Chain A
Amino acid sequence: MLNEVGHFALVLALAMALVQSVLPIVGAQRGDTRLMATAAPSAGAVFALVAFAFAALTVAYIRSDFSVLNVFENSHSAKPMVYKISGVWGNHEGSMLLWVLVLATFGFLAAVLGRNMPLSLRATVVSVQGWVSTAFLAFILATSNPFERLFPAPFEGQDLNPLLQDIGLAIHPPLLYVGYVGFSIVFAFAIAALIEGRLDAAWARWVRPWILGSWIFLTLGIAMGSYWAYYELGWGGWWFWDPVENASFMPWLAGTALLHSAAVMEKRDALKVWTILLAIVAFSLSLLGTFLVRSGVLTSVHAFASDPTRGLFILMILAAFIGGAFLLFALRAGTLKAGGAFAPMSREGALVFNNVFLTTACATVLVGTLYPLVLETVTGGKISVGPPYFNMTFIPLMVPLFLALPAGPLLAWKRGDAAAAAVRLLPAIVVAMFGAAASAWLAGEETALTAAFGIGIGLYLVVGSVAELWLRTGRGAAGARLARLPRLPRAMWGTAFGHLGVGVTVIGIAALSAFQTEVIRDMGPGDTASLAGYELTLARAERVEGPNYTDTVAVFDVRRGGRVVDTLRPAKRHYPARNMPTTEAAIKTMGPTQLYVTLGEVADGKVVVRLFYKPFVLFIWIGALIAALGGVLSLADRKLRIGLPAPARRRVPQGAAGAGA
């Protein structure tokens, strides 16, 4: 019964989304405040109805109601509760429902929170968001009904793919979707600005919290997905340039560029047309990602059920939104006034530099991702574009970006002094040189260049970010300057943390690629393998029963200098419901460094064991966390706080200008 009500709620939500799509924007065009006032209630109704449908599906999962096809295909009565709940979005239909729930939430938030925005702009934004909600609700109802019934109801479900039975599934998709879908509201702002013909610094100030918020979630979602793949897939890699990873990475690159160009727009009223274009591009890339994942055109860890009608439907949504947006952009861009001028060597110039390289890098990723698809369609030739291509195109584009990065915040708006910035960066350059030399000396011949270059740049970024904060404290005794640090605007801290995070991640990547070691050994009980000063002895095998699986555990004693320091328990796991084995890696963490042990086949009383020593590997994700924290700090800056009275806004010190980019 509840399932039918859930389905009905989705139909009602579609009807309400149509109301949200039409009435507020018509009101905005006619200047009719009563029609504009329908924005909040209609968006609220869509949100409530979709949330109800989502809750209904969750209840079906919790109750293991196998009369629902979706639950039957993706759940099992013996599955632990946390995976029953996260299993709601561990499949195509459910994840689409989560996608729409996030869309509706953002629409509702925009309607409720934008109190200091002009009524007509807010109404238009809410309506445009309504268009997106309408399209995806129609998609769900037409092709992907999560409440489809199964008769007669089976006694037991087919269980969730064991690879997804992990806490990662509870965290990664929701974070990612909030980020992905968050760009829809940014898109709505861009379209509304084009429709209203209003594009100024105030617009940039209203849209920036949404950009920042989406960017924070997307950053966390991608980082979480990367760490999940690293420990769950059992082969120790953390980024594979898999097309679907690229599908989330491209909006991130465009979003990062957008974050910076919106800062220029907010401070200097420049780069306006470009910022609008980036907002459209970022959301278009999100939609493209959805298409790639759900149409079955890709071979990927993430690819969902392939159903041509779904692919076609999303392609139509994609074409309508991207085509429509670019058409509107082409019609209106000429009428938008250019903003403040600036010298090439200035904060604006540095941010343009940032944008050029981020978007170019994004374009090379796009080409590499789509090229095989295009080639297969056009010539039938089958190729795959993998890490060799992406590393060769992407990394060289990051180098100039990273070299210029710490200098950017040190340049003044309008006209900056490059020589002065270089002098201020001297400590960072010196530290980077020392770090590079030391790493090259420590690394082997083959990896010396990677180590020196990567770690050098990483250190340069880290020290450069810290130096920027320190320079902002002005002159005087170190103690007095230290005391001033906490009083710096949060946006400034945000910039520094964001850039610091990039440096930490770069160090992690470089150190890992230069210093990682591994061995593969056939090991029987009592055998010992040694790696990077650790000795691992296979003590015994154990059988451990889990709630819905059985583990065959190999117990390793880890010794260092002859003393047992730890026990590692990698396992081969068997899920009887799907008769499927998985490999559970065991990881020992020592600061940022990890020992990673995974098992292969068992033959003749021996098991193939693969051991990795992964120095500084955690820096990769810690850097992402630091950068996301930077985003949070920027978001917490008082100038972005909604509803701030005007005089207080004026009191923000000039020095704060532009930080937080």
Chain B
Amino acid sequence: MTRRGRKARRLALIAVAGLAIAGAAALVLVGLGDRITYAATPTELKDEVHPAGVRVRLGGLVEDGSLVRGADGDVAFAVTDTVNRVPVRYTGILPDLFREGQGVVTEGVMDPSGTLMADTVLARHDENYMPKEVVDSLKAQGRWKEGEGARTGMEGRATTPGATAPVTSSAATQ
């Protein structure tokens, strides 16, 4: 191939690769800007201002006596770190090991009244495994006993469909 041909080919290659990478970088920046979820404890949620509509991942304990079951899978409960509490509402089937007084991680969007409209609820999924956020949260409150559950992970999980993300969520989540 001629030198000019080689040059043109290289330019075309660089143009395509550059476009793809620039596009991807833009998507990544926007994605990391507003499609991420902030992890927080109830106290952090109270202290920091989280605008309504931002996704939050709230970890803590299910407050004793706070669980109220409505009709057709509607539930309300509160997540506490023993200092502050955040009311949570959720529609769906709770994980098998969801219990009052036990660790839980809920994900969703804060509504203006300060209630977390959760679309995902995670609980520990057996005696040995617990979501990392719950462990961290319990440690922060000094309620963590070393050796109580040395292993993390294996979380039970429940979601409501379609609630995860505004634009394209349904393609991959459900």
From A384, A391, A509, A516, give the contact of B169 (CB < 8 A). A391
B20/A360 in contact, CB under 8 A: yes
Give the complex CA separation of A363 and B31 in angstroms.
14
A241 surroundings in chain B (CB, below 8 A): 172-173
B96/A516 in contact, CB under 8 A: no
B27/A392 in contact, CB under 8 A: yes
A337 contacts partner chain B, Cβ-Cβ < 8 Å: no
If A352-B13, A450-B168, A509-B172 touch, whether A296 touches B28 (CB-CB below 8 Å) is no
A384/B72 in contact, CB under 8 A: no
Stretch touching chain A among B77-85, B110-118, B152-160: B152-160
A394 surroundings in chain B (CB, below 8 A): 172
- For the complex formed, measure the closest distance between the CB of A69 and the CB atoms of chain B, giving whole angstroms: 14
From B27, B30, B154, B172, give the contact of A387 (CB < 8 A). B172
Give the complex CA separation of A228 and B172 in angstroms.
16
B131/A299 in contact, CB under 8 A: yes
A385 surroundings in chain B (CB, below 8 A): 31-32, 35-37
From A239, A304, A368, A581, give the contact of B153 (CB < 8 A). A304
B23/A396 in contact, CB under 8 A: yes
Which secondary structure dominates chain A's binding surface? mixed
Give the complex CA separation of A236 and B154 in angstroms.
17
Q: Give residues 235-278 of A contacting B (CB, 8 Å).
A: 235-241
Q: Give residues 437-476 of A contacting B (CB, 8 Å).
A: 447, 450, 454
Give the complex CA separation of A334 and B97 in angstroms.
58
Q: Give residues 113-140 of B contacting A (CB, 8 Å).
A: 125-129, 131-133, 136
A302/B38 in contact, CB under 8 A: no
A357 surroundings in chain B (CB, below 8 A): 20
B76 contacts partner chain A, Cβ-Cβ < 8 Å: no
Give the complex CA separation of A598 and B161 in angstroms.
14
If A303-B153, A384-B36 touch, whether A368 touches B172 (CB-CB below 8 Å) is no
If A386-B164, A510-B171 touch, whether A603 touches B69 (CB-CB below 8 Å) is yes
Give the complex CA separation of A583 and B168 in angstroms.
29
A520 surroundings in chain B (CB, below 8 A): 72-73, 91-93
A299/B157 in contact, CB under 8 A: no
Count A/B pairs, Cβ under 8 Å: 230
B93 surroundings in chain A (CB, below 8 A): 234-235, 520, 583, 598-601, 608, 610
If A235-B157, A237-B159 touch, whether A512 touches B174 (CB-CB below 8 Å) is yes
B145 surroundings in chain A (CB, below 8 A): none
A391 surroundings in chain B (CB, below 8 A): 165, 167-169, 171-173
Q: Give residues 161-193 of A contacting B (CB, 8 Å).
A: 161-163
A301 surroundings in chain B (CB, below 8 A): 153-155, 157
A386 surroundings in chain B (CB, below 8 A): 36-37, 107, 164-165
B153/A300 in contact, CB under 8 A: yes
A239/B173 in contact, CB under 8 A: yes
A392/B30 in contact, CB under 8 A: yes
From B16, B71, B129, B173, give the contact of A240 (CB < 8 A). B173
B16/A239 in contact, CB under 8 A: no
B171/A581 in contact, CB under 8 A: no
* A617 closest partner in B (C-beta): B174
Q: Give residues 263-316 of A contacting B (CB, 8 Å).
A: 296, 298-306
B72/A521 in contact, CB under 8 A: yes
B73 surroundings in chain A (CB, below 8 A): 520-522, 600, 608, 610
Of all A-B residue pairs in the complex, the 3 with the closest CB atoms, nearest first, are A303-B153, A388-B165, A344-B12
* 24 pairs, A vs B, C-beta closer than 8 Å: A162-B126, A235-B92, A241-B172, A304-B153, A343-B9, A356-B21, A364-B24, A364-B28, A367-B32, A368-B32, A372-B36, A383-B57, A388-B165, A388-B169, A389-B36, A391-B168, A392-B35, A393-B27, A510-B171, A512-B174, A513-B170, A521-B73, A522-B72, A599-B93
Known: A298-B153, A384-B57, A394-B172. 14 other contacts (CB 8 A): A163-B126, A236-B174, A299-B152, A349-B9, A356-B16, A371-B36, A383-B37, A388-B165, A389-B36, A391-B167, A516-B170, A601-B94, A608-B73, A608-B93
Binding site for B on A (CB under 8 A): 161-163, 233-241, 296, 298-306, 341-344, 349, 352-353, 356-357, 360-361, 363-364, 367-368, 371-372, 381-397, 400, 447, 450, 454, 509-510, 512-514, 516, 518, 520-522, 572, 578-583, 598-601, 603, 608, 610
